[in-house]
Structure 1
Amino acid sequence: MNVIPQVSPAPETAKHNSWILTVAQAFGGANAPVVVSLGGLVGQQLSPDPDLITLPVSLLNLGLALGTLPAAYVMRRFGRRAGYLLGTVIGMVSGLIAAIGIVLGSFIVFCLGTCLAGFYSSYVQSYRFAATDNASGAESQRAIARVMIGGLAAAIIGPQLVIWTRDALPGTPFAGSFVSQAVLAALAFPILFLLRRSSPPRAVGREGAAERPLFEILTSPRYLLAIATGVVSYGLMTFVMTASPIAMVGHGHSIDQAALGIQWHILAMYGPSFVTGRLMVRFGKERVAAIGLLLIGGSAAVALAGFDIAHFWISLVLLGIGWNFGFIGATAMVADCHTPAERGKVQGANDFLVFGTVACASFSSGSLLHSSGWETINWIVLPAVALVLVPLVWRAARPAYAP
């Protein structure tokens, strides 16, 4: 097979691609907030069983988990750009199917649309890895954080899209928002078409080091620690965030106060991305990830200290910042654990484990809150943080450690 030459030198390609992916993240990242904001409300209208009203949101997370490995295969076989363009097509189809489900009054069709939205998100979530393909060292860490800044824009675009378009189609509330979700995916298509080709994954494998079996990589302590950091950071964030609005209302606070708390939480998730890359370059990715886990533990401690609205809001802000440091740090750690030829399967396995955990957390959080209470949710956070924080701090403190 002939190897297509680079369009430009690798550093220039890396910088160009990271900015393309940042803009694409702003559009594609808004996919999930639309479903999260409206999935329960539409489920309440269409579901034949009250216990299933949150199923559309849970299916978003399930689709994200199930889509990671197929997405990794497509990108490994056909390249990043082809995979991401396919992802935007899935995003367009998912929004239209969800809208059709609302128009027809079909809960099953609507759930199919939200599940497909999860498959689209599995491509969007890998943008952060794609930004490192032609980057190395400090630039790699900055590129990851740069793409995550697009998530901050997505956190604003998604909810505003819901407000502007929820009544756009007369007689079918919320259908217009899902049509707009499809439009956002369509807008991402020409942007991702500008993505430049990075080093061909298969050619690198022949020219460089031999490609290791996935099991060998999975048993590497360094990779296991990176996965565990991502699983705990994202899993605990989802676990607590899903339950927090219900807990706030259950402890006497208004729905508006609960919504404002979630808004501050989302801003705290993505806002620090402006400095996270610099912090990783200066202090090391493991240290930044460890600080993130400490902040997640601190959010649980604040939540356990009382039930005033300040306790909830401060806890959610700390949870968001902790997620940012922990998850971006874990992403940078994973990027150091593979060769270019191995990146597809290594990144796919990581995302499958991380977002599989997120799906389980989404399904279990509400029922555990109902059966055991808000305090139990937060007590679970502390030992989970400690389990990963100890080896993470040990690795960051090793004398041989070199950022």
Structure 2
Amino acid sequence: MLCLCSPAMTPRQTAPAPTHAPRDPTVRNVWLLATCQALSMSSQSMLMTITAIVGGSLAGDPKLATLPLAIQFLAMMLSTVPASLIMKHRGRRFGFTLGALFGILGAGLGIEAVYRADFLLLCAAGFCFGVFAAGAMYYRFAAADTASDAFKAKAISLVLAGGVVAGILGPELAKHTRELFAPVMFAGAYASIAVLMLASMAILQLIQIPLPKREAEGGSGRPLTQIAAQPAFLVAVLCGMVGYGAMNLIMVSTPPAMLACDHTFETAAFVIQLHVIGMYGPSFFTGSLIQRFGIHRILAIGALLILACVAINLSGEAVEQFGGALFLLGLGWNFLFVGGSTLLTRTYRPEEKAKVQAANDLCVFTTVAITAFSSGAIHEALGWQALNLAVVVPLLIVLAAVVRLRGHHRRAAAAAE
């Protein structure tokens, strides 16, 4: 007897299992990286609050107060390229985890430094913190790795928004832990940094960022010199350098300047809170602002905000002036840094990202290291007003470069029509 059933209706056959496209990990990665950013920046805002004060007490010379911070930023500069290459070959998770281990080591050295009253150990701790910070600065690019072109700006800004938590948590931890192991001041602050680093390391194990196929196969793309010749690349790097350098030069010397004006440590910590909130609070909407108003306007506004910070700092030394100026300083940094990072992602192909990101961050953190080294010396030798005036000309150069880039993009768009 012949079976007249079609093969598709044969009872023994099963329908093929439905196929599903791999789930996009971008949103999950963004929230995980934002959490790690919050923990990282909480640690770094604590260091911004306490390091110059601890350094001054251990060194015995006000000119050396910011040296441990300068060494931290020098280590960031030296570690940006190795960090990028490690992540290229071993993945983001491995690179971030290795950086967190250096952060824990730095916290341990910091505890030992204050117990022994050893300034050199504090400098060694700063170096370890710099290696950690160099890796953590790639959180923003890691968020963009799996994001669409339309979502890249938002992904970068949302990760940086994790720093809002740091604006509250970091200085508060500094205030509440500085006497935790009294009479040894600030040992508790370094111990709390170790706890934050351990939590960050655990969360990092959950991120999912595969290597791009071409990068895994060893393709390197265009020469870096060709990429760097693009006007957009030059402006992106310039905005990062000047934005971060100006912010660092003023911010590093703010706590000692406030103490010199007879303001309390708690007041200085509050001003740093305002500053960090200004740095990262706008990140919830900076990406949307870039999409709506254009990247050129956001970059220009960032430079103008830092110039406004300088004007306020020159007007007086009341708490309100320190607080208002540092808030605007953070806001201007946010627009320049998020805008510059977003602009940079438009200048390279997937297989070129490691070397381009490394080159960008090397330039940025070389500037940061220089400003950290010079901040304490300029403040001590020339005063608070001269320190603020030092950033005016670089910011005017940024404004001119952004205006010129906008004109270049308009001409290119007109030629393409």
Name the TM-score, length of structure 2 as normaliser.
0.86
* Range moving further from structure 2, 170-179 or 197-206: 197-206
Within the candidate set 47, 50, 65, 1:35 is matched to 47
- Counterpart of 1:152 in structure 2 is 164
- Counterpart of 2:270 in structure 1 is 260
Change in 2 beyond 3 A, CA 1:165/1:255? closer
- Counterpart of 2:135 in structure 1 is 123
Within the candidate set 398, 404, 408, 1:394 is matched to 404
Distance between the aligned counterparts of 2:233 and 2:126, measured in 1?
A: 31
- Counterpart of 2:326 in structure 1 is 316
Within the candidate set 218, 225, 231, 2:228 is matched to 218
SS of the residue corresponding to residue 137 of structure 1 reads coil
Q: Tell whether the 8 Å contact from 1:30 to 1:155 is kept in structure 2 after alignment.
A: yes
Within the candidate set 284, 288, 307, 1:278 is matched to 288
Within the candidate set 196, 199, 202, 1:184 is matched to 196
- Counterpart of 2:108 in structure 1 is 96
Q: Tell whether the 8 Å contact from 2:66 to 2:252 is kept in structure 1 after alignment.
A: no
Letter of the structure 2 residue corresponding to residue 322 of structure 1:
G
Change in 2 beyond 3 A, CA 1:48/1:381? closer
Distance between the aligned counterparts of 1:191 and 1:98, measured in 2?
A: 24
| Residues 28-107 of structure 1 aligned to structure 2 (within 5 Å) | 28-47=40-59, 49=61, 51-107=63-119
Partner deviation per Cα, 1:65-103 (whole Å, 9 max, x = no partner): 221111111111111111111111111122112212333
| Residue 35 (structure 2) pairs with residue 23 (structure 1) | yes
Change in 2 beyond 3 A, CA 1:44/1:375? closer
- Counterpart of 1:133 in structure 2 is 145
| Residue 381 (structure 2) pairs with residue 371 (structure 1) | yes
Letter of the structure 1 residue corresponding to residue 224 of structure 2:
L
* Range moving further from structure 2, 156-165 or 360-369: 156-165
Deviation at 1:170, TM superposition (A): 5.2
Distance between the aligned counterparts of 2:324 and 2:311, measured in 1?
A: 11
Partner deviation per Cα, 1:194-222 (whole Å, 9 max, x = no partner): 11033436546667xx6122233233322
Change in 2 beyond 3 A, CA 1:52/1:373? closer
Deviation at 1:40, TM superposition (A): 2.8
Change in 2 beyond 3 A, CA 1:31/1:309? closer
Change in 2 beyond 3 A, CA 1:311/1:108? closer
Letter of the structure 2 residue corresponding to residue 399 of structure 1:
R
- Counterpart of 1:236 in structure 2 is 246
Partner deviation per Cα, 1:131-183 (whole Å, 9 max, x = no partner): 10011322100000100111111222222222333333355332222122112
Letter of the structure 2 residue corresponding to residue 20 of structure 1:
L
Q: Tell whether the 8 Å contact from 1:368 to 1:377 is kept in structure 2 after alignment.
A: yes
Q: Tell whether the 8 Å contact from 1:29 to 1:124 is kept in structure 2 after alignment.
A: no
Q: Tell whether the 8 Å contact from 1:287 to 1:396 is kept in structure 2 after alignment.
A: no
Deviation at 1:234, TM superposition (A): 0.8
Distance between the aligned counterparts of 1:156 and 1:301, measured in 2?
A: 26
Change in 2 beyond 3 A, CA 1:261/1:347? same
Determine what percentage of the aligned residue pairs are the same residue. 37
| Residues 317-396 of structure 1 aligned to structure 2 (within 5 Å) | 317-396=327-406
- Counterpart of 2:312 in structure 1 is 302
Change in 2 beyond 3 A, CA 1:35/1:257? closer
Letter of the structure 1 residue corresponding to residue 340 of structure 2:
A
Letter of the structure 2 residue corresponding to residue 356 of structure 1:
T
Letter of the structure 1 residue corresponding to residue 229 of structure 2:
T
Q: Tell whether the 8 Å contact from 2:114 to 2:184 is kept in structure 1 after alignment.
A: yes
Distance between the aligned counterparts of 2:401 and 2:312, measured in 1?
A: 24
Q: Tell whether the 8 Å contact from 1:13 to 1:198 is kept in structure 2 after alignment.
A: no
Q: Tell whether the 8 Å contact from 2:77 to 2:366 is kept in structure 1 after alignment.
A: yes
Name the TM-score, length of structure 1 as normaliser.
0.89
SS of the residue corresponding to residue 184 of structure 2 reads coil
Letter of the structure 2 residue corresponding to residue 148 of structure 1:
L
Letter of the structure 1 residue corresponding to residue 393 of structure 2:
P
Unaligned runs of 5+ in 1: 1-6
* Count of aligned positions: 393
- RMSD of the TM alignment (CA)? 2.5
Q: Tell whether the 8 Å contact from 2:89 to 2:216 is kept in structure 1 after alignment.
A: no
Q: Tell whether the 8 Å contact from 1:69 to 1:348 is kept in structure 2 after alignment.
A: yes
Deviation at 1:343, TM superposition (A): 1.0
Q: Tell whether the 8 Å contact from 2:167 to 2:276 is kept in structure 1 after alignment.
A: yes
Q: Tell whether the 8 Å contact from 2:300 to 2:402 is kept in structure 1 after alignment.
A: yes
Deviation at 1:251, TM superposition (A): 5.5
Q: Tell whether the 8 Å contact from 1:286 to 1:333 is kept in structure 2 after alignment.
A: no
Deviation at 1:359, TM superposition (A): 1.4
